[in-house]
Structure 1
Amino acid sequence: DNTAAVRSWLGSDAFPATEFMLRDHYFNSGSRNTGKILQRALNIHGAGLVVDGIVGPRTRQELQDQLAATGEAVFLIALQEKRQAFYRSCKQFPVFGKGWLTRCDDAFSVAQELV
Structure 2
Amino acid sequence: MHKLTDIDAPAAPQISFDQFLAVDIRIGTIVAAEPFPEARKPALKLVIDFGPAIGQKRSSAQITEHYETTSLVGRQVAAVVNFPPRQIGKFMSEVLTLGFPDKHGHVVLFKPDHEVPDGARVF
TM-score scaled by length of structure 2? 0.26
Tell which has more relative contact order, 1 or 2 (C-alpha 8 A, sep 6+). Answer: 1
The two structures have a TM-score, normalised by structure 1, of 0.27
Higher strand share: 2
Greater radius of gyration (CA): 2
